[in-house]
Amino acid sequence: AAGVIQSPRHLIKEKRETATLKCYPIPRHDTVYWYQQGPGQDPQFLISFYEKMQSDKGSIPDRFSAQQFSDYHSELNMSSLELGDSALYFCASSLVGVRGNEQFFGPGTRLTVL
């Protein structure tokens, strides 16, 4: 079965640079979520989109923005990168109303900021 696709899988950036992470949800899924997982931490919710509209927002820095496009893929844009932004970034997708809105995670993008 098709899974969530994320690209790139690994990304190395310098401080103050920008980064764009991409997420392709499972086909027919209408909701996308972004999570950040720092070393030794549990995943923390950043932002979500339902039917291309922002549906919920968590502890996402103002330096980050995201959107969901007409084909349902989503991008997380990160500017003025800081050392503390180094983390695993997961995208998850779900289909509203199906099995309690189970979320399925992509393999993640490992961002390293030097």
The residues that touch other proteins, with contacts defined as CB under 8 A, are: 31, 33, 35, 42-43, 45, 48, 50, 55-56, 58, 88, 90, 92, 94, 96, 99-108, 110
Cα–Cα distance, 104 to 57 (Å, whole number): 19
Q: At closest approach, how far in Å is the CB of 102 from other proteins?
A: 6
Burial readout 9-26 (b: 16 or more C-beta within 10 A, e: otherwise): eebebeeeeebebbbbbb
Please name the residues in contact with 83: beta carbons below 8 A apart, sequence gap of 6 or more: 15, 113, 114
Q: At closest approach, how far in Å is the CB of 88 from other proteins?
A: 7
Q: Hey, how many other C-beta atoms are within 10 angstroms of the C-beta on 48?
A: 23
Q: At closest approach, how far in Å is the CB of 114 from other proteins?
A: 19
CB closer to other proteins out of 15 and 102: 102
CB closer to other proteins out of 16 and 58: 58
Q: At closest approach, how far in Å is the CB of 16 from other proteins?
A: 27
Cα–Cα distance, 65 to 28 (Å, whole number): 24
CB closer to other proteins out of 74 and 94: 94
